[in-house]
Amino acid sequence: MIEEKLSTHKSTLEKFIEAANRKKILAQKCVKCGHLMLETVFFCEKCAGNKFEQVDLEGSGIVVTYTIQAVVPEGFEDVGSYAWVVFKLDNAPLRASGLLPGIKTPADLPIGTKVRVAGYDSKHGLMLQK
């Protein structure tokens, strides 16, 4: 049973990575009501339906908030200063987050800046670009 759950999780993770490398965001769409969710869930938060299909969403949107890491922590020397960005997707009522390298000050990333998925990095996760 545990192996089955791990293989399902791994399959979802692999699909997420593949979507990110195509510059997309993987989401779950409720078959019953069409509600979109980013998480892998057992029940729809809107209608309590329990059947989902995975859909690729365009990986572009606008910055709604972020945290800047100007002093690079150990292990992140390869990206330098960066922002962990939360962005609202352009064509869906969802928010996602990812790492945007090269951001040193708030002037580098005003709220409302357009960002898009650049791919997936095994060390840093979802990578973004302006």
Q: Got the DSSP string for 18-30? A: HHHHTTEEEEEEE
Cα gap 83→98, rounded to integer Å: 8
Domain count of the fold of the chain? 2
One domain, residues 41 and 84: no
Domain boundary among 57, 75, 97: 57
Q: What is the pLDDT of residues 64-121, one digit of tens each?
A: 999 999 888 888 889 889 999 999 999 999 999 999 999 999 999 999 999 999 999 9
What average pLDDT score do residues 27-47 get?
A: 92
Cα gap 12→117, rounded to integer Å: 18
CA-only gyration radius of the chain, Å: 16
One domain, residues 43 and 72: no
Q: Give the bridge partners for 85, in sequence order.
A: 66, 98
Q: What is the pLDDT of residues 50-69, one digit of tens each?
A: 999 999 999 999 999 999 99
Evaluate whether 29 touches 42 at the Cβ level (below 8 Å).
Answer: no
One domain, residues 42 and 75: no
Residue 12's domain comprises 2-57
One domain, residues 73 and 106: yes
One domain, residues 70 and 8: no
Sign of CA dihedral 82, 83, 89, 94: positive
